[in-house]
Structure 1
Amino acid sequence: MSLFSKIVIGVIIYLVFLLVYLPANWLVSIAPLPNNVAISGAEGTLWQGQASLVTIDKRQIEQVSWQLSPWGLLVGKADIDFKIGNRATPVSGKGSISWSFSGLRANNIRFDLPDSFLLAGARLPFKTQIDGDVSLMVEILEQGKPWCEQLSGKLFLNNTNVKNQYGVYPLGNISLELSCLDGQLKIATDETQNVLGLTGSAILGESNLVKVSAKIKPTDAQPKDLREALSFLGRQDSQGYYPINYQGVVPGL
């Protein structure tokens, strides 16, 4: 073997080891992160590492770990398994994400987090305060236009309590089905998935346009303030339902 061949092989081996052991903390230090994002306590490598804290605006996510498959990069995609927190942390989650030139794909995603994390101190209309927890479960998500090509999942609003200048509304537990309809995000529920007598759906389309088509009827389990406010929605139909219809841009999006 010639000296030149030995040098080339040596350089290749060096580059392979350099890539395999590329430190996560160095990558974080040179990454062009947005001004509202900060990562601290990064350890491990690009392929398997963790960060003790990720801050996004006023939101904090603890104990983020990941595994990046090098084999996927050979065919032009990044396959990442991630885990966030545990039962003792406010926010927890896990799942698998794959990114390629065709878009994002996610499998077996689960997130558990409090409403306070989502709102992050935001000032809501009518001095509204919301307490409770959210659980998101996604079996499969495939990016499409405008939002999705495929989606199957559930969103649980747990022990939800709403309070504003008009009253107090303990809404309890609400289960929502997530799906994809002609590329649009669809969220649906019915009376078997909540105690509010609520049935219907909301569809998020292009330009953040949302269309709500639902109905609600009085039930004994409804908060008193909510039951008394139903008449403001309009006239009841023959089955005792009040209409809930809206079409417009989602505030804040």
Structure 2
Amino acid sequence: MSASQASAAELRRFALIALTGFAGAALVFAPASLAAWFLKRSSPLTAIAGSEGTIWKGRFSGVTHGGVLIGDVDYRLAALPLLAGRVEIEASSAGGALLGRGRVSLSPGGAEFRNVNAEFNLGAIRQYTFFGVRYQGHVRLKADRLKLSKKGCVAETATLSTSAFEALTRRWSAEPFPLAGAIACEAGALTATLDGASADGKASIGLTVRPDFTYALRIAAEPRRPDVSEALQVFGFENKGDRLSYEAAGILKGLSS
């Protein structure tokens, strides 16, 4: 190799090292606004009022989804999972409809949640109603681990509870009651059965979410008052003799699905 060729090869190596270093530095110090841009591109229903920090650790302020104010979100993005094709984020939210924290891992094959303790204010959903009454109450999720993928699911120490029915019971001057139950993994799908009861009757909600994020919702109610029974049938509940039943199915797309 001639001196000129060696010099050219050395120059190329130097340029490659410099370019790699520049790209690495640019990635390390990339602003949080870049992460916000990617998030909004992947979810058109999401809007972010402001951002601070870097792509690895920062805050999104005024996050909304489908017109619902989620709140201010603090996040930390893990680097190593990116090498395996996964996006893993530790996040917390406050100041809006969502209050809580947890670790979320997303990949082309599914989603995983760890150490989740979160509460969502249903009253923030203003454009829809729940059996003729504006959404009220809360939904709370606590889970050590939840995973849903094409290969199946995992549910470890996971519970779900809601006070969504309290607005309906108040409307009928009935005693309000919360519903709560455990989340399990059955036949490759996440399932939850929430039960609740009061002096005016009892109710149960069954929810199944499959790996393709299709869901099936089943509500069974056993009201003791005839007027409540008649009102529920007006809203689409079927009289099964010993109970009233309501079923729905669809695809999880956002806060309104």
Fold shared by both chains (TM-score > 0.5): yes
Q: Sequence identity of aligned pairs in percent?
A: 20
- Counterpart Cα distance in 2 of 1:200 and 1:160: 11
Judge conservation of contact 1:68–1:78 (CA < 8 Å) in 2.
Answer: yes
Counterpart residue number, 1:157: 162
* Structure 2: stretches of 5+ with no match in the other structure: 1-6
CA offsets, 1:200-245, max 9 Å, x none? 5624366956363857475xxxx8964897999454xxxxxx3344
- Please say if 1:249 is aligned against 2:246: no
Judge conservation of contact 2:148–2:189 (CA < 8 Å) in 1.
Answer: no
- Counterpart Cα distance in 2 of 1:4 and 1:46: 30
Counterpart residue number, 1:5: 13
- Counterpart Cα distance in 2 of 1:248 and 1:154: 22
- How far is the alpha carbon of 1:78 from its aligned partner? 1.8
Judge conservation of contact 2:32–2:51 (CA < 8 Å) in 1.
Answer: yes
- Counterpart Cα distance in 2 of 1:123 and 1:6: 63
Question: Which residue of 186, 204, 208 maps to 2:208?
Answer: 204
* Letter matched to residue 41 of structure 2: P
Counterpart residue number, 1:43: 52
Judge conservation of contact 1:162–1:170 (CA < 8 Å) in 2.
Answer: no
- SS of equivalent to 1:22: coil
CA offsets, 1:83-135, max 9 Å, x none? 111xx654212111112343211111222122212x3331444x324432221
Of stretches 206-215 and 108-117 in structure 1, the one that deviates more from structure 2 is 206-215
- SS of equivalent to 1:73: helix
Superposed, which structure 2 residues align to 1:161-240 within 5 Å? 161-163=166-168, 167-190=172-195, 194-195=197-198, 198=202, 202-204=206-208, 208=214, 210=216, 212=218, 214=220, 216=222, 218=224, 226=228, 233=239, 235=241
Question: Which residue of 24, 28, 37 maps to 1:20?
Answer: 28
- SS of equivalent to 2:12: helix
> Could you say if the C-alpha distance between residues 228 and 11 of structure 1 is closer, same or farther in structure 2, counting changes exceeding 3 Å?
closer
* Structure 1: stretches of 5+ with no match in the other structure: 236-241
- SS of equivalent to 2:243: strand
- Please say if 1:106 is aligned against 2:113: yes
Q: Please report the RMSD computed on the Cα atoms of aligned residues, expressed in angstroms.
A: 3.8
- Please say if 1:116 is aligned against 2:123: yes
- Please say if 1:83 is aligned against 2:118: no
Judge conservation of contact 1:65–1:82 (CA < 8 Å) in 2.
Answer: yes
- How far is the alpha carbon of 1:50 from its aligned partner? 0.9
> Could you say if the C-alpha distance between residues 244 and 176 of structure 1 is closer, same or farther in structure 2, counting changes exceeding 3 Å?
farther
> Could you say if the C-alpha distance between residues 36 and 124 of structure 1 is closer, same or farther in structure 2, counting changes exceeding 3 Å?
same
Judge conservation of contact 1:80–1:98 (CA < 8 Å) in 2.
Answer: yes
- How far is the alpha carbon of 1:162 from its aligned partner? 2.2
- How far is the alpha carbon of 1:46 from its aligned partner? 1.1
- Counterpart Cα distance in 2 of 1:102 and 1:225: 48
Counterpart residue number, 1:134: 139
- How far is the alpha carbon of 1:20 from its aligned partner? 0.4
